[in-house]
Structures are given as C-alpha cells and as structure tokens.
Amino acid sequence: MSFSIRDMAQKARMASRQLAKLSAQQKNAVLHSIADNLVSMSEQILTANQQDLAAGKEAGLTDAMLDRLALNEKSLANIAEAVRKIAAQDDPIGSIRDIRRMPSGIDVGKMRIPLGVIAMIYESRPNVTIDAAALCFKAGNAVVLRGGKEALHSNLALAECIHQALSTHGVNANAVVVIPDPDRAIMNELLTLNQFIDLVIPRGGEGLIRFVSENSRIPVIQHFKGVCHLYVDKDADEVKALGLLTNGKTQRTGVCNALETLLVHKDIAPSFLPMAAAMFNERKVRVHACEKSMGYFHEAEPATDDDWDTEYLALEIAVRVVEDYAQAIEHLEAHSSGHTEVIATQDYSTAQRFIRDVNSAVVMANASSRFSDGGELGLGAEIGISTSKLHAYGPMGVESLTTEKFVVLGDGHIRQ
C-alpha cells in the first residue's frame, strides 16, 4: 500500500479548519448518520471482522485477544448507541465564559475551541475506532486513527461508515483518517508531525504508552497504570469500609479503577482485618500481606516491595497496616500512580484533610474507586484517563479535547 502519512496528517489539518466552524446541529447530524451506518452497513463490517478474526486465529492470538477483536450485530448496535449518546451531549465549542471589563476598558473573556488534530494510537479493540472518532468529531477536531494490525480490516470498514456519513453532510472526509498500514515505522513518522497534529492519545498496554511518550514530538496524554488505594482510617465505619473494599476489588478486576492496595490504620486492624479476610476468602482474593497483617489471613503471601507498585488487574490485593494517618499519606506519596485514592473515615477533619493532602487525579472520601470513570463523574463518554497533570488530569471527556482562546472586544481601544 503506498501513501504518505505526512500527506494524510496535512489533509487532516486542512479538514480541521472546516470542523472548527461546524455548528452543533451539523456535527450531531453526522454522528447520527454514523450510528445509522453502523447498523445498515453491518454486513460488510462483520465480513471484514471475520477476515481479521481468521487471520488472528492463524497468527495464534489468545482467546482474550480474539474476544476483544470480535464484533457482532449486538456489539455494533451498542457502538451505534454510544455514538447517539455522544450526539446528545452538550457541545462544548463556542461557549464564552467570564467576560470581564478591564481597567483599560476592553472586555475580555475566554471561548472554548477545538484543539485541531488529534492522533489516537490504540490496540486491538475496533470499537475504539468509532468511539474516538465520534468524541474527537464532537469536539470539532480532526482525528488520525492508528489501530492495531489485528483489527485493520474491521477498522477500514468502520472508517467507511464514517466517511459515508461525512460525505452525506458535505464534511471533508479527511476529518477522520484511518491509517491503512499499522507499520511501526509509519507510527514513528506520525509522532514527528507536530506541525499538523496537536495531541497524541495512546490507549493500550504500558509498553505502547511508554514507546509513544518517548518517541513523540507531539504532546502526549499518558495513562500508565492505576494502582488505586483504599485507606481504612481508625474512625472508619467498618461496614461501609468493607463495602468499598468489596466493590473496589471484586466488582470488576481488569479495570484501572479497581483497588490494588488496602491500607489499614493499626487501631482498627484487629476488628476490620478479620472482616476483610473473610470476604477475601469467600471471593477468592489472593492476598499479599505486610508483616503486621499477615496473621489475619488464612493463606497470604508476604508482600514484597514490588507489590506496593503492582497493578494486579485480578482477584489479588496488597495489604498493609499503617501506624497512623501520616504513614498512610507517606505510603501514597511513595506508591500512588496518580489515578484514584479513597479514604474510609467517619471523622470530618480526617476526611477533609485527605481530600486536600492527596493529589491523585481522583480523590474520594467514602466512595468506591469504581466510580472513577468519565460516565460516573458526569463527563459523558470517556476518551481516556490521564495520570499526567498537564492539560487534563483524570478521566477525560469531550471537554478535554478542546482548549480556550482569549476573546477581546474593544471599540478602538489602544494601550497607553
């Protein structure tokens, strides 16, 4: 396949100028057409997906990988529904806030505008192609999509749905570019094109994210891992705390907002840890325990230094008894991944203090870490989670794909 990635990125940049000027109605009409096409064109999408699945089986992909890759009528309908929900969200573009009159007499405010062009680099899930395209488009951005090679045929078929919808509504097809070759050299070239692309969002394993971060000349939103902590304070309500622990660790395990470490104040450990141990036993949660907590568990392994930084993504947890609040904070400062930390306490002052002391992207008092996602936090659909502090921190919704410019209104005002 012969094409120039530079050329594609430049065309996306050109298309972004039209996108920035589309009204909310125009953008939502395109999104509804994409949703319609996902259903009406399902036959050709599923045929392409079968091609990917067959090639994947031949290449020896694991069942889990094939599962992530697979599409069917129902999953397409779900993806279409997600696109309709994005259409139904508020349009962030064009709103002006905080117009103030300055001493010089000029009026100054800030207007929300698109970033321009966003590159998404992701692995095998083909639904990301539609999700990412729809969210970037909603925010008025062009998008360059580079999916995994296992999903290439599926992604190209999904791109066809998008391109037909763009064309139906007279929008430049380069608003959504799917790179037709997932070669790594091409990705490397993509990462140098900072004159055309404003932001790169990698979604996938730590290796992919590290590679993109280290090789990109374009700003990157990073999400390495979620090592979420629950600290059970001496003044915790033990029943509530057990609920948070059970929900955080076992409701879903393969997600970044699951709990990975439990810290327990030494004063409450003798009553709380037996309850925790019974729950772990019942739910078959493997425990890596510190010396002081070891005795409470039927069969726990001794926690190693590595355990405090491990994202298990499984029915597995590290447990540590701490001397006091200060030691809990010290532990978090040393081991937090910047994702989500929770305190369970009934003490007003301790809760207030924790909320201020802990600067992870999401900090909670008496709520499950599982609430740490875009939908639950009220952002609507989520494009990713940032654990770096620049631009966006925590779950990212449509607004994270925008920026603000200053707007100045004068009447011939000049500077003295």
Contact residues: its own copies, CB under 8 A? 17, 20-21, 94, 100, 102, 104, 106, 108, 111, 113-116, 198-199, 213-214, 217, 219, 237, 239-240, 243-244, 246-247, 251, 333, 351, 355-357, 359-368, 370-372, 376-378, 388-391, 393-395, 403-415
Name the phi and psi angles at 107, rounded to 5: -100, 130
Q: Nearer to its own copies by C-beta: 270 or 410?
A: 410
Minimum distance between the CB of residue 325 and its own copies, rounded to whole angstroms?
Answer: 13
Instruction: Check if the beta carbon of residue 230 is closer than 8 Å to that of residue 245.
Output: yes
- Phi then psi dihedrals of residue 359, to 5 deg: -105, 40
| Of residues 267 and 357, the one with the C-beta less far from its own copies | 357
Which residue's CB is nearer to its own copies, number 94 or number 180? 94
Least distance from its own copies to the Cβ atom of residue 113, Å: 5
Least CB distance from residue 54 to its own copies, whole Å?
37
Least distance from its own copies to the Cβ atom of residue 170, Å: 18
Angle at 251 between CA 246 and CA 257, to 5 degrees: 95
Query: Which residues contact residue 185 at a Cβ distance below 8 angstroms, ignoring those fewer than 6 apart?
Result: none
Q: Measured from the CB atom, is 20 or 55 closer to its own copies?
A: 20
Nearer to its own copies, 155 or 250 (CB): 250
Q: How far apart are the first and last CA of the chain?
A: 60
For residues 254 and 412, which CB has a smaller minimum distance to its own copies in the complex? 412
Any idea of the CA torsion for 205, 129, 252, 372, to the nearest 10 degrees? Answer: 90
What is the DSSP-derived secondary structure letter of residue 226? -
Residues 60 and 327: their CA atoms lie apart, in Å, by 47
Closest CB to its own copies among 159 and 358? 358
Residue 368 CB, shortest distance to its own copies, in Å, is 4
Residue 29: CB atoms within 10 A of its CB come to: 17
Q: Is 215 helix (H, G, I), strand (E, B) or coil?
A: helix
Coil/strand/helix, residue 203: strand
Give the Å distances, CA to CA, from 360 to 323, 327, 344, 395: 22, 17, 16, 12
| Token code pair at residue 233 | 């304070």
Contact 48, 38 (CB under 8 A): no
- Closest contact distance (angstroms) between CB of 280 and its own copies is 17
- For residues 56 and 114, which CB has a smaller minimum distance to its own copies in the complex? 114
Cβ at position 110, least distance to its own copies in Å: 9
